Structure 1
Amino acid sequence: MIRRSLAALLAASVVLPVAARAADLEVTHWWTSGGEAAAVAELAKAFDATGNKWVDGAIAGSGDTARPIMVSRITGGDPMAATQFNHGRQAEELVASGLMRNLDEVAAAENWKDVINPPSLLEGCTLDGHLYCVPVNIHSWEWLWLSNQAFADAGVAVPTNWDEFVAAGPALEKAGKVPLALGQQGWQMSGLFKDLVLGLGGKDLYLKVYGDKDSDLAGGADMAKVFKALGDARTLAKGSNVQNWNEATAMVISGKAGGQAMGDWAQGEFQVAGQVAGKDYTCLAGLGGAQYITTGGDAFYFPALEDEEKSKAQEVLAEVMLSPETQVAFNLKKGSLPVRGDVNLEAANDCMKKGLAILKEGNVLKSADELLSPDTTTQLNDLMSEFFSTELTPEDAQARFAELIASAD
């Protein structure tokens, strides 16, 4: 691979695919925070440069809010031209029902199999031998974001792992800080729990529970340690009275909170705020424990359309989303890792470089969204939401978790 500086890469004269006739394509997604909006603007700019037009269909709220709206439109006969889903099985029923178009020809022409890394991303887009989506990034959940200022105010060193973070909780509280910023939504709490499973329990426990659906392990001693840590997290998060994930990130940015367990998309918020990784904030991959990342992230699916012009423009959009230039511009703003293994990210910050190093080592696992059905994911989110909003004991929560894993699909 010929390495070039980021500036040279972005300044290079690139011939992007141009549709025979311009078309307006509505693209739905749930990227509405500051960092997300900056990232999606890069996708829109790249598509508009082909002579077509990106019609932004942002839906406020989380994916849990947006997905039912997206699915309802597609099944109700009012499809958008392209729509975001997370990597995994969220669009499986839509694809099986014949409502999504395959991208086999585009993928073959653009040699996606040769450039997309890891290969499991394309496997997750494939059903019955046909490819139905464009993975645009790798988002990993396994991060603890820490405010250097909050720990300085509390007179304690910035933690290097989860146990040190828990131990610093009293000092943070004494200094008027919320130790752990956490939004009041089930998917955020469930994400924190999965961080603890992998970061404290390790790779084997994670894969056997979520992949093999081993309910004995889910109810066993190793998982009991994870649920104890979840109880610590609940204590640390008391006083975190925000709803959305980016509001929790803002607490860390402002120094009102010590830390937040959140995916690497939080980096976009730190960047918009002008903060510098390693100086203003610290990131711990795997909560400072297991150095693995999961292949969570975002992919775009393309509903089957009768309009020939828009169908051709869909192919152009698919190509543009995976062009090297777009991959660099988009992921630097989003805080995620590119899905192409042949792009130069010399401009990556300290935290992104940690993620790239883990990816280079091959320490990548499938996300829980790829291993569990949407129904099971919803049930687990509901359990975590109940745990953080009630006095449900870790022991009782673990017993119910094991039952859900036993019946998971």
Structure 2
Amino acid sequence: MKPIRHLLAAIGLSFVLSPAHAGQVEVLHWWTSGGEAKAMGVLKEMMEEQGHTWKDFAVAGGGGEAAMTVLKTRAVSGNPPAAAQIKGHDIQEWAKLGFLTNLDDVAKEEKWDQVLPPIVSDIMKYEGHYVAVPVNVHRVNWLWVNPDVFKKVGVEVPHTWDEFFEVADKIKAAGIIPLAHGGQAWQDATVFEAVALAELGPKDYTAAFVNHDMDVLSGPKMVEALTKFHKIRDYIDPNAVGRDWNVATKMVINGDAAMQIMGDWAKGEFTAADKVAGKDYECVPAPGTEGSFTFNIDSLAMFKLNNEANEKAQMDLARTILRPKFQTIFNKAKGSIPVRTDVDMASFDDCAKASMKAFKATAENGGLVPSMAHGMATTSAVQGQIFDVITNFFNTKDADPEATAKQLASAVQSAL
């Protein structure tokens, strides 16, 4: 006679062998590029290993605008996913509206307050209670370089904007695109904030984009930042309009372009293409920003559910995300660094090690600043106004930097 467990399996009663608490976790996100999809696959596997069912709700679009539109519809209709990729100030907005659930029990059990830097944990809380889980830390102000192109042209990697323009002229003369770029508002803003950080410095950057200081927003340093930002138009190709960021990264990987200014999620694309940091590509701080770190923290906010099994799965998801094993595997695939400061970095690549070193150093010396372009510095309303001004300026051939700086201040003021 067959063992009872074989008989049960044969007639389809597999639930007897599954964890009694198994539930479903539906996760809404916009991690859809090669490296990002690989990273999410890790989380899916870990949840399935715990007996839960994973329901992937991926909405393409690097800036997340399409995903947020879908999420609002689902939440308002009373059918939210278990977790959704939400960042920065938006976490507070969703919590204020009463949609997010309390994660304090898991946070206490897993000692989140001890393993997370305060600048991170504060963003994950609403009125002192955890409502979201940080997944990683991205450094946004990176310049990605194809060393073969530089060697072919005979130029050195630029460390200032003056050097950048000088090098870009020579690369362009050699018939190669100097800067790979995607003409989307959030990508324009990513490049702009790198230029602004170089010109303003961390203190005035924070004054402008976090504290909304009108004098800094409309001042001479901002005018200079806008002037240099506009000049970058001369070094991107005519087909940049509408291009996704990962397509631009592939241009650097393939040697069709020399450089890209993008957060370190771009490294996930190099990794997915079997490229090695320090050999096949180089990562250096964006020109003029070596002593600063513009951070973007990805996080999953947890929504209130009405199914006990799914709630248990949701708590297991929150617990799994911050454990060292997932932090290590996920961030290697994603290109980011662990959000926990106690994770062993020995097995990470040179770019990740440099990023973690800079993250810790700038947290101490004041050079750590939140990304405006990626929703960490200000509200979505203010960010939207900045995006409109910056993109219109960048795409207008004879735009006036001084007038645009005043317009930028007015636009921010209107959204406060």
Same fold (TM over 0.5): yes
Cross-structure match for 1:213? 212
Cα contact 2:140–2:264 (8 A) shared by 1: yes
- In the alignment, structure 2 segments of 5+ residues that lack a partner are 1-17
Name the amino acid aligned to 1:119.
P
Cross-structure match for 2:196? 197
Displacement of 1:195:
1.1
Q: Structure 1 CA distance, aligned partners of 2:22 and 2:162?
A: 56
Q: Does 1:371 align with 2:377?
A: yes
Q: Helix, strand or coil for the counterpart of 2:54?
A: strand
Distance 1:234 1:394, change over 3 A: farther
Aligned pairs for 1:43-192 within 5 A: 43-62=43-62, 63-86=64-87, 88-116=88-116, 118-192=117-191
Q: Structure 2 CA distance, aligned partners of 1:129 and 1:89?
A: 15
Displacement of 1:263:
0.5
Equivalent of residue 410 in structure 2, options 394, 403, 407: 403
Cross-structure match for 1:274? 274
Using the TM superposition, name which of 161-170 and 346-355 deviates more: 161-170
Cα contact 1:277–1:349 (8 A) shared by 2: yes
CA offsets 1:190-225 (integer angstroms, 9 cap, x no match): 111111121332111111111221111111111222
Cα contact 2:385–2:415 (8 A) shared by 1: no
Name the amino acid aligned to 1:397.
T
Asked which structure has the greater CA Rg, the reply is 2
Cα contact 2:180–2:236 (8 A) shared by 1: yes
Cross-structure match for 2:294? 294
TM-score w.r.t. the length of structure 2 is: 0.89
Aligned pairs for 1:354-365 within 5 A: 354-361=354-361, 362=363, 363-365=367-369
Displacement of 1:248:
0.8
Q: Helix, strand or coil for the counterpart of 1:230?
A: helix
Aligned pairs for 1:238-387 within 5 A: 238-241=237-240, 243-361=243-361, 362=363, 363-368=367-372, 369-387=375-393
Cα contact 2:24–2:309 (8 A) shared by 1: no
Cα contact 1:85–1:299 (8 A) shared by 2: yes
- In the alignment, structure 1 segments of 5+ residues that lack a partner are 1-17
Cross-structure match for 1:389? 395
Cα contact 2:153–2:174 (8 A) shared by 1: yes
Q: Structure 2 CA distance, aligned partners of 1:382 and 1:243?
A: 18
Q: Structure 2 CA distance, aligned partners of 1:169 and 1:198?
A: 20
CA offsets 1:85-128 (integer angstroms, 9 cap, x no match): 12x11233321121111111111111100001x21111112112
Cross-structure match for 2:4? none
Q: Structure 2 CA distance, aligned partners of 1:158 and 1:280?
A: 14
Distance 1:66 1:267, change over 3 A: same
Name the amino acid aligned to 1:382.
D
Distance 1:155 1:234, change over 3 A: same
Q: Structure 2 CA distance, aligned partners of 1:192 and 1:211?
A: 18
CA offsets 1:214-245 (integer angstroms, 9 cap, x no match): 11111111122211110121222243525101
Q: Structure 1 CA distance, aligned partners of 2:93 and 2:205?
A: 26
Displacement of 1:408:
4.6
Using the TM superposition, name which of 234-243 and 68-77 deviates more: 234-243
